Structure 1
Amino acid sequence: MATIVKTPSGTWKALIRKNGWPTTSKTFRTKRDASDWSRRVEDEMVRGVYIQRTASERMTIEQALKRYLAEVSPTKAPKTAQSEIGSAKKLIEKLGSYSLAALSAEVISEYRDKRLSERTRRKTPVSNNTVRLELALLSHLFNTAIREWGVGLSGNPLLNIRKPSPGAGRDRRLSASEEARLYAAVDAHANPFLGWIVRIAVETGMRSSEITGLRRDQVDIARRIVRLDDTKNGSSRLVPLSREATAVFKRALGHPIRPLDTDLIFFGEPGRDGKRRPYVFSKCWRALRAELGMSDLRFHDLRHEAVSRFVEAGLSDMQVSAISGHKSMQMLRRYTHLRAEDLVATIDELDERRRG
C-alpha cells in the first residue's frame, strides 16, 4: 500500500514500498494525482511490468546526446563520429528540451516532416539521407539508454516511425573530355599528391579517407595490392591495383621530399602538437572543380566511376564488391551506373554471337 503525505511546501508525495521492487516515490501538486499514480504503479508491479521512469523523465534529449557523443561516438570511425556531431546539433536545437520519456512517436514524426520541408543555405531542401541519419542517431541513442544506461523506458519510439526513402543513387559519370581536363588540372597543381590521389580513386574505387590514410606498409607493389585495415563498414579488404594505379603508387612512394616523422604516403604539415596527419585537399578540390566548370562533381563520384568501370569491364558483382567493400548487392547497384551507349555495343555483340 502506498504512503501519501503532504510536504511542507504544500505538494503531495507518494511513497511505494513493495517486496521485490526498489522503493519508489514521486511528488505531485494534488493528492488525487498522487493517489492515481500510486494505484497505477502498484498495478504495474503486481503484473510485473513496472518500469522506473524517474531517470527517463529527468534526462533531456540534450543531456542524453551529449553523453552519447562523449561515450559512444568515439568508439566509431572518425568520419562517422564527426557526422554524428552535426546530426546531434540539429536534434538538440529542435528536440533538446524534451525528456526521453516525453519524446513520442508523434513528436518525432512532426520533426521529420518539418526537417524535410526546410531549405538549406543553398536554398535546396534538406536531403532525405540527412534526416535518415538524424533519426538513426536518435534511435541508437534510445537503444543505448535502455540497454546500457539503465534508463527506464517502455520502448524505442522510433521503431515504428516511417523513415525517408534513401532516394536514387547519384549517376554522375566522367566523360572522356572531362577526365582529360581533370587530370591535366590536378597534374598542374603545386602539390603532386592531388593528382596521385585523384588517379588512385578512379583506378581503385577507394574512398578519399582510405587513400589519404594509407601508410607505406599497406601497399605491396610486387603483389600489386593495397591492404585496407580501417574501412567505413568496419571490414578489412585487399584492393587489387591496375597497372596505372601501380605506377602512381610507385611515384608516390618514391617522392623525394619525405619527412622521417611519418609513415603516411600522403602527409600534411605538422599540427600544433607536432604530429603529421593525412593530406587535406578538400579546399583545393572545390576550387579546382569550379575552375573546370564541374561544380557538380564530388570527389566521391570518382568512386562511383571506378565501380561502374569494373562492371563494364566484365567483373561479377562478387568481384566488384570484394574490391569496393560494399556489403550488400543493393548498395553496390546504387553505386553502379552504366552508360546506355556502352550497353548498346554490348547488346550488338550478344546479337552477333546468337546469329553466328
Structure 2
Amino acid sequence: MATIVKTPSATWKAVIRKSGWPTTAKTFRTKRDAQDWARRTEDEMVRGVYIQRSASERMTLEAALKRYLADITPTKKPSTQKSERHKANTLIEHLGKYSLAALTPELVANYRDKRLNTLGRRGELISPSTVRLELALLGHLYTVAIQEWGLGLTYNPVQNIRKPSPGEGRDRRLSPDEEKRLFDVLRQHSNPMLAWIARIALETGMRSSEILTLSRSQVDVKRRVVRLTDTKNNEARLVPLTQAATEVFKQALHNPVRPLDCDLVFFGEPGKGGKRGPYAYTKLWNQAKKKAGLDDFRFHDLRHEAVSRLVEVGLSDQEVAAISGHKSMQMLRRYTHLRAEDLVKKLDGLRDSFI
C-alpha cells in the first residue's frame, strides 16, 4: 500500500514501497491527485508494466538536446555537427521548456505547422526539407533517450506524426551563356583556386565538402581518377575525371604558392597554430555569381548540372550513381534535370534513323 503524507509546504507526497520494485515517490498539490497516482502506479507494478518516469519528467528538452550535442553529435561528421547545433537551437527556442515526458505528438505537430509557416532569413518560407531534418533530430534524440539513457519514456512523440513532404528537387540548370559569364568572373579573381573548385564541381559532380578536403595523394592524374574516402554517405568511391577536370587538377597540384607542409589540394590561410584548413570560397563565390548576374544560382547547383550532363551524354543510371555517389535511384532522379530542347534533338535523331 502507498503512504500518503502532507508535507510542511502543504503539498501531498505519495510513497510506494513494493517488493521487487524500487521505492517510488512523487509530490502533488492535492491529496486526491496523490491517491490517484499511487493507485495507477501500484496497478502498473502488479501488471509488470510500470516504468519509472521521474527522470523524463525532470529533464527538459533543452537539457536533453545539450546532452545529445555533447554525447552523440561529436561522433558525426563536422558538417553534420554544425547543422545539428543549428537545428538544436531552433528546437530549444520553440520547445525547450517542455519536459521530455510532457512533449506530445500534438505539440510536435503544432511545431511542424508553425515552422512551415515561418519566414527564413531570405524572406522565404522555411522549406519542408528543413523541418523534416529538425524533426529527424528530435526523433533520434527520443530514440537515444529511450534505448540508451533509460529515462523511462514510453513512446517517441515524433514517430507517428505526419512528416512534411521533401518537395521537388531544384531544377536550376546552367546555360552555356551563364557558364561563360560565371567562369569569366571567377577567373578574374586573384586566387585561381576559386575558379578551379567551381570547374571541378561542374566536371565531376563532387560535393563541395569532397572537393575542399582532397589531399594530393587522392588525385591520380595519370589514371584520371580521384579517390574519395570522406563522403556524405560514408562510402568510398572513385571519381573518373574528364579531360578538363584533369587539366584543372594538374594546375592545382603544381600550385607554386602551396606551402611545403600542406597536403590539401585547395588550401586556405593559416588558422590557429599556423595550421591551414580548406580554402574558404563561400563569400567569394557569392560575390562572383552576383557579379555574373546569377543571384539564384547556388554552388550545389553545379553538382545538379554535372549529374544532368552525365545522363545527357548517355551514361546509365548505375554509371552516374557510381560517379556521383547517390545511394538510391530515387535521389539520383531528384538531381537529374534534362533540358526539353535536348530531348527534342534526340527525338529528331531517332526519327531520322527510321527514315
Give the shorter-chain TM-score range. over 0.9
Letter in 2 for 1:317: D
**8 Å contact kept, 2:219–2:226:** yes
**8 Å contact kept, 2:224–2:240:** yes
**8 Å contact kept, 2:28–2:34:** yes
- What residue in structure 2 maps to residue 321 of structure 1? 321
- What residue in structure 2 maps to residue 265 of structure 1? 265
For residues 106-255 of structure 1, the aligned pairs below 5 Å read 106-255=106-255
Unmatched segments (≥5 aa) in structure 2: none
| Separation of aligned partners in 2, 1:270 and 1:52 | 52
Does residue 298 in structure 1 map to residue 298 in structure 2?
yes
| Separation of aligned partners in 1, 2:238 and 2:20 | 55
Letter in 2 for 1:149: W
Please give the secondary structure, in 2, of the residue aligned with 1:18: coil
Does residue 80 in structure 1 map to residue 80 in structure 2?
yes
Does residue 24 in structure 1 map to residue 37 in structure 2?
no
Alpha-carbon distance, 1:350 to partner: 2.3
Unmatched segments (≥5 aa) in structure 1: none
| Separation of aligned partners in 2, 1:245 and 1:233 | 23
- What residue in structure 1 maps to residue 46 of structure 2? 46
- What residue in structure 1 maps to residue 103 of structure 2? 103
Please give the secondary structure, in 1, of the residue aligned with 2:226: strand
Per-residue CA deviation, residues 264-311 of structure 1 (Å, 9 max, x unaligned), is 111111112321100011001001111111000000000000000010
Alpha-carbon distance, 1:315 to partner: 0.7
Letter in 2 for 1:50: Y
- What residue in structure 2 maps to residue 351 of structure 1? 351
| Separation of aligned partners in 2, 1:347 and 1:148 | 58
Q: Structure 1 stretch 120-129 or stretch 93-102: which is displaced more? A: 120-129
Alpha-carbon distance, 1:6 to partner: 2.1
Letter in 2 for 1:127: S
| Separation of aligned partners in 1, 2:11 and 2:184 | 77
**8 Å contact kept, 2:4–2:34:** yes
**8 Å contact kept, 2:185–2:291:** no
Alpha-carbon distance, 1:256 to partner: 1.0
- Over aligned residue pairs, what C-alpha RMSD do you find? 1.1
Letter in 1 for 2:139: S
Letter in 1 for 2:322: A
Alpha-carbon distance, 1:95 to partner: 0.5
Letter in 2 for 1:123: G
Letter in 2 for 1:245: A
Alpha-carbon distance, 1:224 to partner: 1.1
Alpha-carbon distance, 1:208 to partner: 0.7
Alpha-carbon distance, 1:120 to partner: 2.3
Please give the secondary structure, in 2, of the residue aligned with 1:273: helix
- What residue in structure 1 maps to residue 8 of structure 2? 8
**8 Å contact kept, 2:308–2:338:** yes
Letter in 1 for 2:146: I
